Amino acid sequence: MKEIDNIKYEKITYQNYQTRIDKLFQKENLLKLGLNKKTLAKTEYGYNLDCITIGNGNNDLFIVAGTHGSEIISIDFVTQLIEKIDNLNNFDPNIFKIYIIPIQNPEGFDISSSVFNNININNYEKSSYEYYLRYRTDNLIINTIKDLNLFLNNLINNKNIVSTNELLYYLKHYIKTNKKIKILESNNAMPKIKIFNKLLLELPTTNSYKELKIKLLNICDITISKLNPNNLNDSFLKLFLLELKKYFNTKELWETIENNNQIRLYQEMFAKCKIKNLQSSLLEKDINKIYKLYKHPNGSQIGHDSTGIGINLNANNKHNPGILSTKTKSIIWGLGPKSNIQNYTPGPIGTATYDPNNFKYAKENKALYKLIENSYQKGTYLMTLLYHGTGGLIYYKPYQDMMNDNTYNKYYDYNKTLANIYSRKTNYTILEESGKTGYGDLLRRTYPGVLLIELSKMGGNPIGPYGDHNNIYITINDNLAAINDIFKYLKKEIKAEKKYSK
Ligand SMILES: [Zn+2]
């Protein structure tokens, strides 16, 4: 591959994405390679679902980005891939035809980018780095709380503890020596709250602190009522729980929690930003209503991953557990730094389907499926690359239980080979787990060669990866090199007359 020295470091919003695409169509070299664009479908709010093709060959590759609205690095990467396709010496336009969907979820991207549009381009790298640090800190807080929860559970279940003082000693010792807690407490970005307060923040299964307090006190009471007063260990445990109850009853504790208002550090940066200037004014009106209705925290709009009507395109699968949660209106919280955002409701994370009583595939997924299926039936299908935002990971394994052995083995070998080639240049971790509940999982058990790639190792969608321009340079360069190697492998397979279609 030719040395690539013109990788772009830019702020991409839905508004200036269009300019980037228009510029591609002014390049003679790309037009010679058969560059073309067509609209596959219109979204619910009338956004174009674009598909760009390059090459005139009889072997189709599918590349999808922007499935989650906030994962801009995937959109950035695939648009730069088109621009630099000429540098990939293993790409032969007479052999291959690449179908690229640069933004599978234009509504979600418009929502998310309307918020980070508030950052001045001159401060883009600096502000993105600040965002990245805050996102990391939030991650650390959540992990610490999880550790602490585990520790407390073990402690309460451990019958070898001999006294309340011993329990309290272990707890204090744990808090004093736990590395994550140490990092947290030395981090200037952290508000001055005690670790116990953070534990309680992890338990917001209610909408008000009053309810949460009652809930916690109830947990203590119920546990106490089940203890055997004649058992020495149980009576010690009772004393411990009574101590906890006292703690949960302190006024300062609840005041501190309420002052923190449940907003995560990364959300704080955009807490005053509104979703505005969207391409669709109707979407703008509707989405602001949704945020109010579900009480999504201020500033969480920046991480808007679902579509305008609130569907998470990767969760849009019949087997997704979120369908039941939506149906029963259970409150389920997101993971990691999103643990203060309701999952499976319309909002930043989104639902699996619009109507839980009548599952339907989203328009954006139907269009993608139609495109791939057509190629598969025609006998020209090769493989599919699904790009997501951050993690530096490769999902390749199909879900065995839902496939016949023959198909599974065939897909497994092919996918594994592709994943190995891909990770050689990117150093991305190849994951051995396989799921059945995502839309990507559905594609992976339906067609061969479906890889899902989590790009940047530097986390914090959307702008965290932009906190260091070298990270963007490395991410794009390495992934271009990986695709070039994939082309090399596929050319050999085509020569050997291997087929991956029906
Ligand atoms: Zn994603």
pLDDT per position as a tens digit, 360-411? 999 999 999 999 999 999 999 999 999 999 999 999 999 999 999 999 999 9
What confidence tens digit (pLDDT) does each residue in 269-282 have?
999 999 999 999 99
Judged against a pLDDT cut of 90, whether residue 186 lies above it is answered with no
Q: What is the mean pLDDT of residues 43-68?
A: 98
Q: Can you tell me the distance from the alpha carbon of 115 to that of 277, in angstroms, rounded to the nearest whole number?
A: 10
Ligand 1 center from residue 313 Cα (angstroms): 9
Higher pLDDT pick, 396 / 336:
396
Ligand 1 center from residue 457 Cα (angstroms): 14
Contacts of 247 (CB under 8 A, 6+ apart): 196, 253
* Per-domain boundaries in the chain: 124-267
Tell me what pLDDT residue 256 has.
47
Are 498 and 99 within 8 A, CB to CB? no
Mean pLDDT, the chain, rounded, equals 87
Tokens of 199: 């534990």
Which has the closest alpha carbon to 107: 326, 363, 319, 410?
A: 363
Q: Can you tell me the distance from the alpha carbon of 278 to that of 276, in angstroms, rounded to the nearest whole number?
A: 5
Higher pLDDT pick, 184 / 214:
214
Are 275 and 291 within 8 A, CB to CB? yes
Ligand 1 center from residue 72 Cα (angstroms): 10
Ligand 1 center from residue 66 Cα (angstroms): 8
Which has the closest alpha carbon to 124: 45, 9, 201?
A: 9
Are 296 and 456 within 8 A, CB to CB? no
Higher pLDDT pick, 251 / 245:
245
Ligand 1 center from residue 439 Cα (angstroms): 11
Contacts of 366 (CB under 8 A, 6+ apart): 41
- Range of lowest pLDDT (23-37, 181-195, 416-430): 181-195
Tell me what pLDDT residue 79 has.
97
Ligand 1 center from residue 3 Cα (angstroms): 29
Higher pLDDT pick, 152 / 10:
10
According to DSSP, the residues that pair with 39 across neighbouring strands are 50
Burial-class residue 224 by CB neighbours within 10 Å (0-12, 13-18, 19+).
middle
Q: Measure the N-to-C terminal CA separation of the chain; round to a whole number of Å.
A: 32
Ligand 1 center from residue 67 Cα (angstroms): 6
What confidence tens digit (pLDDT) does each residue in 216-246 have?
677 778 777 877 777 665 665 676 667 667 7
Judged against a pLDDT cut of 60, whether residue 50 lies above it is answered with yes
Ligand 1 center from residue 362 Cα (angstroms): 16
Judged against a pLDDT cut of 50, whether residue 190 lies above it is answered with no
Ligand 1 center from residue 447 Cα (angstroms): 20
Higher pLDDT pick, 169 / 198:
169
Q: What is the mean pLDDT of residues 134-143?
A: 77
Pure H helices in 249-311: 251-260, 265-268, 281-293
Fill in the amino acid letter for 246: K
How many CB atoms lie under 10 A from the CB of residue 421?
Answer: 17
Judged against a pLDDT cut of 60, whether residue 444 lies above it is answered with yes
Q: What is the mean pLDDT of residues 128-140?
A: 86
pTM confidence score: 0.85
Judged against a pLDDT cut of 90, whether residue 474 lies above it is answered with yes
Ligand 1 center from residue 68 Cα (angstroms): 5
- Range of lowest pLDDT (189-193, 298-302, 381-385): 189-193
Are 97 and 9 within 8 A, CB to CB? no
Are 11 and 119 within 8 A, CB to CB? yes
Q: Can you tell me the distance from the alpha carbon of 244 to that of 229, in angstroms, rounded to the nearest whole number?
A: 18
Are 33 and 86 within 8 A, CB to CB? yes
Ligand 1 center from residue 87 Cα (angstroms): 28
Tell me what pLDDT residue 234 has.
65
Ligand 1 center from residue 48 Cα (angstroms): 20
From residue 239, give the alpha-carbon distance in Å to each of 164, 221, 247.
6, 12, 13
Are 449 and 416 within 8 A, CB to CB? no
Ligand 1 center from residue 387 Cα (angstroms): 8
Ligand 1 center from residue 14 Cα (angstroms): 17
Tell me what pLDDT residue 337 has.
85
Which residue has tokens 């040395």?
3
Contacts of 285 (CB under 8 A, 6+ apart): none
Tell me what pLDDT residue 501 has.
86
Percent of the chain at pLDDT exceeding 90: 67
CA 416 centroid distance within chain = 23
What confidence tens digit (pLDDT) does each residue in 150-180 have?
666 666 566 555 454 565 566 667 666 777 6
